[in-house]
Structure 1
Amino acid sequence: MTHYDVVIVGGAMSGATLALALEKMNQDTLSIAVIEAVEPKLDQHPGYDSRSIALSSGTSQLLQDIELWSDIDSFSTPINHIHVSDRHHMGLTELTSKELNVDALGYVVELTDVGLFYHQKLMNSHNIELFCPASVVDIKRDVSSSTLTLSTGEVISTSLIVAADGAESKTCNIMNIESENNDFQQVAIIANVTTSIHPHGKAFERFTEHGPLALLPMSQGRSSLVWCVSPEESKQILGYDDDAFLEHLQRAFGWRLGQFIKTGKRAHYPLWLRRQKQYISHRFAAIGNAAQTLHPIAGQGFNLGIRDVFSLAECLTKAHRSEGDIGEYRVLSEYQKRRQSDQIQTITMTAGLVSIFANNSFPMVIGRNVSLRAVDMFRSFLKPLTLRAMGRVNR
């Protein structure tokens, strides 16, 4: 039975970044295994319908620190301008990278591109063993190590298991880690759209009576749409043909990008705030969406998870350099302690924005529009929120 210092369950961006960060920080002295259930299809690309994710400025800097960003940057689309508005009301504000003196406020990457990049990096690593396609079917823990049985029949052992397998983490379930769940009573509708005016690096957050609507600039003049609506409204919207959908979207968003002229396939998923009651246990830690899943408003969830990744990597590296046991509860407690403040503040900010901007009571509408106008007039109000949104926070 092969033993690894760290076994990471989940080889998407969070899990793969952790593996590569540990390899870089420890100069190949840690043995690492990554278990990933889905093997990418190297010869297929969803084309127009490729899903995307927004990386904050802070995330790009962290990836640069471990020499990954230059490759990812080659297929990213920078966000240089963010426009925030409230439909049917006067409140709006704008933010530019020039005003903040940064290269970009964030970046949009397509998941297919970034997935292939990470898969190839893991495959080419001499110090990381990639089990793919494979999943974990059983875990047994004792004092000094844990044993994992894989769907392939292989059995491996490790000093530390890291769950990086997404919002409904099977690993956390096997470990009997309980979660706290809050149903936002909203559904996110996802699609790529094309407008008659090229977005040219401009992102939009539009608050409507049904929920927030975000457009992120993508390659080839497309925009990535995330539209949060009530479950009842989602059924109606998902039933539309393309023309009816574009017309409905046009009414909700307006004409700042001209006419909506094309849409791809629509996907949807219910929105929850899920948070594990504990992020660590005996020889176990959770990162990214396996630790907490946020509402997509302000695009904080994935970037919060990347800060989990680097904090855990630094704690493990510190223990390894002092010849300690990286799976000890003392080491994992340091990780949990480091992450608590950032996690609480980001979750609170995100949930607060949902409660403010998805509530159409008259006092709330007046309050948020006054706030948007104040932010637009007095730019110093914007700095703390902007720094957190950009991932420029202590971790």
Structure 2
Amino acid sequence: MQYDVVVIGGAMSGATLALALSRMANKKVAVVEAIADSSKHPGFDSRAIALSLGSVDLLRRYGLWDAIQPKATAIKSIDVSDRGHFAQTGFDAKQLGKELLGSVVELADVGAVYREKLQLDPNIDLFCPDAIEQLIQHQEGVEAVLRSGTTLSAKLVVAADGANSKVAELINVSKSVDDFEQHALIANIELEQPHHNQAYERFTSHGPVALLPMTDNRMSLVWCMTESMLQQALSWNEEQFLSELQQEFGWRLGRFKKVGSLASYPLMLHKRDRLTHHRVAFVGNAAQTLHPIAGQGFNLGIRDVATLVDVATKYTDSGEYACLAEFKRLREQDREATCTMTSSLVRIFSNEWLPMVVARNLGLAIFDIAPSMQGPVKNRSLGLV
């Protein structure tokens, strides 16, 4: 079974890549996905993610946004503050001359849309449920041997199978892991007052608290905290949970009315030591998994996808050395800058050492009144890089 590209992993990054390769480059693509029901896929779970303006523009370019937009919530402004201190800053779409700063989508909704599009695309074959068991690299191609016994031949295999990539394991591509010693507590919060399409990033002594606007006057909560605090939080009843969150966040959104089911995961930077191997490329969380601070994870991953699509369009053989070398070169600066920015923000704003507290608040205040400093940070936050 011969393909131009075999994509291992059919969640956000893998599905976006497969559909874009079909539509933009007319490539014949196989997608290998282990989980048949997209609603039970960890990549399409109950979480919501913030798509930057740049990511929305890319999805528009690939003809995917129209199907996602009806269930998305626009972000019109972003408020950034440090709990208990004077400084704050933020971005506003109108002031920047933009229609929006980004959009919040629920992964379960996107999963349903993507699964249908993968099944209907004539250039794409979906092997699901199935998984890769062996990868055989040849000079002119590569073979993916699946658990079902099927062998897929291609010019290129793309690993889009998450931080614990099976592809990376098979070809022994290692990664570095930086443990932030924090966990993310995830939940949906119902508000008493309208959110007015405003997103919030609030830095606290325990870690960042992010609230993203959603449909039905809800907010998606990402509350970063230590493991000991997480165990406490998971034992709280709803009333205590809302009270503790209200105390940590404040009253900018009025009273928190209700909380949905809770989920959590440890926060680490997983960074693949290399983005390419012989006829293999890594994208999305298989390439790097970031701390959720500043919401850069998927937005960095979709830029991996966009770069690979742009480069693959220029080559008949998408797995040849020149193609993968160009992909690697074009991704290096953005990848390094984004990983460094998110890791630095975690350490700066999760530190209660007094000189650091003073310095970061001065930094926020200066940033808010110095437009010359804002450009690069705003562009990266908006995905316009």
Aligned to 2:371: 379
1:391 maps to what in 2? Answer: 383
Residue 338 of structure 2: aligned partner: 346
Q: Partner of 2:31 in structure 1?
A: 34
2:148 is matched with which residue?
152
What is the alpha-carbon root mean square deviation over aligned residues? 1.5
Paired position in structure 1 for 2:353: 361
**Which position in structure 2 is the counterpart of 1:11?**
10
Q: Is structure 2 residue 198 aligned with structure 1 residue 206?
A: no
Match of 1:20 in 2: 19
User: What CA distance in whole angstroms lies between the structure 1 residues aligned with 2:131 and 2:38?
Assistant: 18
Alignment check: 8 A CA contact 2:6 2:152 kept: no
Aligned to 1:330: 322
Q: CA deviation at 1:121?
A: 0.7
**Aligned residue for 1:68?**
64
The 1-side partners of 2:321 and 2:284 are apart by 20
Unaligned runs of 5+ in 2: none
Indicate the SS of the match to 1:144: coil
**Farther-moved stretch of structure 1 (101-110 vs 368-377):** 368-377
- Number of the residue aligned with 1:240: 236
> 1:291 — aligned with what?
287
Quote the sequence identity (%): 48
Instruction: State the alpha-carbon separation in 1 of the partners of residues 308 and 118 from structure 2.
Output: 19
In the TM superposition, residue 380 of structure 1 has moved relative to its aligned partner by 3.4
Alignment partner of 1:243: what SS?
helix
- Residue of structure 1 aligned with 2:180, choices 176, 179, 184: 184
Q: Is the 8 A contact 1:281 1:329 kept in 2?
A: no
Q: Secondary structure at the match of 1:315?
A: helix
Segments of 4+ moved more than 3 angstroms: none
Distance 2:372 2:152 in 1: 53
Moved more, 238-247 or 104-113: 238-247
Instruction: Deviation per CA, 1:69-118: give whole Å up to 9, x if none.
Output: 22221211000011111111111113210011111111000111111111
Q: Any unmatched runs of 5+ in structure 1?
A: none
Q: CA deviation at 1:377?
A: 2.5
Q: Take 1:201 and 1:195, find their aligned partners in 2: how far apart are those partners?
A: 13
Question: Normalised by the size of structure 1, how large is the TM-score?
Answer: 0.94
Q: 1:95 to 1:334 in 2, by over 3 A?
A: same
State whether structure 2 residue 130 is matched by structure 1 residue 137: no
8 Å contact from structure 1 (residues 85, 207) kept in 2: yes
In the TM superposition, residue 376 of structure 1 has moved relative to its aligned partner by: 2.2
Q: Could you tell me which amino acid in structure 2 is paired with residue 348 of structure 1?
A: T
Judged with a 3 Å threshold, the aligned counterparts in structure 2 of structure 1 residues 41 and 172 are, in CA distance, closer, same or farther, namely closer
What is the Cα deviation at residue 15 of structure 1? 0.8
In 2, distance between residues paired with 1:376 and 1:160? Answer: 46
Cα distance in 1 for partners of 2:369, 2:28 equals: 54
Q: Tell me, what secondary structure is at the counterpart of 1:173? A: helix
2:351 is paired with a residue whose SS is coil
1:313 alignment partner AA:
V
- Does the Cα contact within 8 Å between 1:138 and 1:148 map onto a contact in 2? yes
Are 1:258 and 2:254 matched, yes or no?
Answer: yes
Structure 1 equivalent of residue 277 of structure 2? 281
On the 8 A contact 1:36/1:133 being kept in 2, the answer is yes
Deviations 1:99-153 (A, max 9, x none): 1111111100011111111111110011110111111112122222222221222
SS at match of 2:241: helix
Match of 1:162 in 2: 158
Matched residues in 1 for 2:77 and 2:318: separation? 42
